[in-house]
């Protein structure tokens, strides 16, 4: 009886040694006698002990932090650029069998691609059109990693380090642009103001009394707002205008009154 129990326990132990459990984000790449046999997981499954071997693959999205790369732009400016790349495994079998270390391979590909793409663009495009740079890097790296069963989800440029001399030159240029814009706005405002003044002067020339009436109205408003009594000197033009108007009234012939019939 004992002779039967020992082989039975050995057989059970060997069977249990083939039990594998993978999490939801894990997959098991099974090799049977050295050949790719299939992909298993997640959950509980069993492999043949000794005959089967398992390599684990994580299918979650991973990040690659691309260290700052010093490169020369198309307009001969030396800059340092770093970025972050997001990728995930679509085919665990290819990721394990097509490349020795897919993580290092993705990093090296992303690093060299970023340097090449940045070197093909001028500094202004790199600073203003980062989305275009990111998309180009993503397309190139994704094309390289596709045979490995890996998809690149996105690339984001983090920092662009510019030499201090170039920073000062760009600051002066930006200041000059802002000053130019301010001068244009000021000139447009002055032009519009001069047009309004010209229209007002034409209106006043056509009716000089309007200027004096407007002046009196402004003085009345000032006195009302400040709650004060305002003493002013009447302008000579206004006095002359009033005098002319009075003389014109006096020069008109007076209407003769009819004789009183009762007068003696």
Query: Is the pLDDT at 207 greater than 90, yes or no?
Result: no
User: Within the chain, what is the greatest distance between any pair of CA atoms?
Assistant: 176
Cα(66)–Cα(83) distance, rounded to whole angstroms?
A: 5
Tell me the pTM: 0.62
Class of the 62-162 domain? Answer: alpha beta
Interval 181-194: pLDDT, tens? 888 888 888 888 88
Query: Is the pLDDT at 257 greater than 50, yes or no?
Result: no
Torsion, Cα of 24, 26, 27, 33 (10° steps): -130
What average pLDDT does the segment 153-169 reach?
A: 83
DSSP code string of 29-96: EEEETTEEEEEE-SEEEE--TTTEEEEEEE-S-EEEEEEEEEEE-TTS-EEEEEEEEEEEES-HHHHH
Q: Averaging pLDDT over each range in 2-6, 14-18, 77-81, which range is the top one?
A: 77-81
> For position 84, what pLDDT does the model report?
96
Q: Say if residue 54 is exposed, middle or buried (CB neighbours under 10 Å; 0-12, 13-18, 19+).
A: middle
How would residue 30 be classed by pLDDT, with cut points 50, 70 and 90? very high
């Amino acid at each position: 009886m004992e002779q039967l129990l020992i082989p039975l326990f050995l057989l059970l132990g060997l069977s249990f040694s083939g039990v594998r459990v993978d999490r939801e984000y894990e997959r098991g790449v099974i090799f049977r006698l050295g050949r790719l046999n299939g992909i298993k997981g997640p959950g509980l499954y069993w492999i043949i002990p000794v005959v089967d071997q398992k390599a684990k693959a994580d299918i979650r999205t991973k990040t690659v932090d691309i260290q700052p790369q010093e490169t020369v732009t198309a307009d001969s400016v030396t800059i340092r650029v770093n970025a972050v790349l997001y990728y995930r495994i679509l085919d665990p079998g290819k990721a394990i069998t097509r490349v020795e270390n897919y993580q290092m391979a993705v990093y090296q590909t992303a690093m060299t691609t970023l340097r090449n793409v940045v070197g093909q663009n001028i500094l202004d495009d790199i600073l203003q059109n980062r989305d275009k740079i990111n998309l180009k890097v993503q397309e190139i790296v994704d094309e390289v990693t596709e045979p490995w069963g890996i998809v690149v989800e996105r690339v984001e440029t983090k920092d662009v380090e510019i030499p201090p001399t170039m920073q000062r030159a760009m600051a002066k240029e930006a200041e000059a642009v802002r000053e130019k814009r301010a001068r244009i706005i000021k000139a447009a405002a002055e032009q519009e103001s001069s047009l309004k003044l010209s229209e007002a002067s034409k209106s006043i020339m056509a009716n000089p009394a309007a200027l004096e009436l407007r002046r009196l109205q402004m003085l009345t408003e000032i006195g009302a707002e400040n709650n004060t009594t305002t003493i002013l000197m009447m302008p000579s033009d206004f006095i002359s205008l009033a005098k002319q108007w009075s003389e014109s009234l006096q020069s008109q012939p007076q209407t003769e009154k009819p004789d009183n019939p009762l007068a003696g």
